[in-house]
Amino acid sequence: MNMDDIFSQFGDIFGGAFGGGFGGFGGQSSRGGRRVNRGTNLRVKVKLNLEEIVNGVKKKIKVNKYVNCKDCAGSGAEKGSGFSTCHSCHGSGQVTRITNTILGQMQTSSTCPACGGEGQTISNKCDSCRGDGIVKGEEVIEINIPAGVMDGIQLSVSGKGNAGPRGGINGDLIVLIEEIEDDNLKRDGINLLYDLYINFADAVLGSTEEVPTVGGKAKIKIEPGTQGGQVLRLRGKGLPDLNGYGKGDLLVNVNIWTPKSVSKEEKDIIMKFKESSNFRPSPGKKDKGWFERMRDHFRQS
């Protein structure tokens, strides 16, 4: 388990701690239309390598966030001073106005401007938080990241965002997943792709090759007469499906390495083979060319 220091990866995460909380997520409580403050959501970015994605991982991260003020236990009121019921709305959080119109009297309700809909006002504000009930702080949060996540996906950890002002409820922690690209294995959905380069002699005579897998290695058999571009499939060596629908495969694309320069001696040997009938290209039905393989690929996907 590692401590990723992800302070301020999203810039000023304190920005607008009161903003969205009141509008988008705030809403009204069931108690007589009084407003309940909700803390804003926090956003953090977590970088994961392929092994962490395949196996799932627990991450401990330290975040800057609004926490409840200790001096007033989050209430915003100085110790002993308490709250008084709002005089304007008598605690309901709503004010009602009656207006005379040509159609008769009309009653309109709106949020009480005196208390902001909270139904109460603080007699003496807490010095430490200036009556907000929340202060800037930090918290170490453990996040369980399931296996099979992908770049750009967002996970929500309920109640781990900013604390809500004056005894409100916490916002959520939104975790944005960022994938660290692997040096060897490329991801294609739940499958992994690997480009294997083999020696020309091994392609002709057959061999055993080692390929990297997630967190290890696997041996694969190269049959004599293997063509370049042949794809070998290692079943179940890919990524788990995030929704639990099985596992992907590791697809090994076989490339045959052509020497870029040869010695005089090597050249002489190769020239001897050049006219041999075995060296004349004669693709059979089983030897699929590039176009045919691409067609198969698109049919599968």
d(CA 184, CA 11): 33
Of 4, 45, 62, 71, the one binding Zn ion (CB under 5 A) is 71
Which of 46, 54, 57, 69 binds Zn ion (CB under 5 A)? It is: 69
* List 9, 28, 88, 213, residue binding Zn ion (CB under 5 A): 88
Task: Count CB atoms within 10 A of the CB of residue 220.
Answer: 17
Binding flag, residue 129, Zn ion (CB under 5 A): yes
CB of 21 to Zn ion, least distance (A): 17
Nearer to Zn ion, 163 or 214 (CB): 163
State which residue, 71 or 241, has the beta carbon closest to Zn ion: 71
Give yes or no for residue 122 binding Zn ion (CB under 5 A): no
Q: How far from 91 is each of 87, 94, 96, 190, 253, CA to CA, in Å?
A: 8, 8, 13, 56, 71
Report the DSSP pairing between strands 57-68 and 3-5: parallel
Exactly one of 36, 115, 214, 251 binds Zn ion (CB under 5 A); which one?
115
Q: What is the CA radius of gyration of the chain?
A: 33
- Measuring CA to CA, which residue among 134, 136, 137, 125 is closest to residue 166? 134
Q: Which is nearer to Zn ion, 165 or 238 (CB)?
A: 165
Question: If binding means CB under 5 A, how many residues of this protein chain bind Zn ion?
Answer: 12
From the list 86-94, 139-147, 156-164, 252-260, the region that binds Zn ion by CB under 5 A is 86-94
Q: Which stretch binds Zn ion (CB under 5 A): 53-61, 111-119, 192-200, 232-240?
A: 111-119
Residue 254: closest CA among 281, 235, 234, 227: 227
Q: Which of 244, 204, 227 is nearest to 287 (CA)?
A: 227
Of 29-37, 71-79, 228-236, 280-288, which part binds Zn ion (CB under 5 A)? 71-79
Q: Which of 46, 50, 72, 163 binds Zn ion (CB under 5 A)?
A: 72
Question: Does 86 engage in binding with Zn ion (CB under 5 A)?
Answer: yes
**Residue from 81, 128, 199, 207 in contact with Zn ion (CB under 5 A):** 128
Candidate residues 6, 126, 175, 185; the one interacting with Zn ion per rule CB under 5 A = 126
Nearer to Zn ion, 73 or 270 (CB): 73
Instruction: Specify the stretch interacting with Zn ion by CB under 5 A; choose among 7-15, 104-112, 198-206, 208-216.
Output: 104-112
The contact set with Zn ion (CB under 5 A) reads 69, 71-72, 86, 88-89, 112, 114-115, 126, 128-129
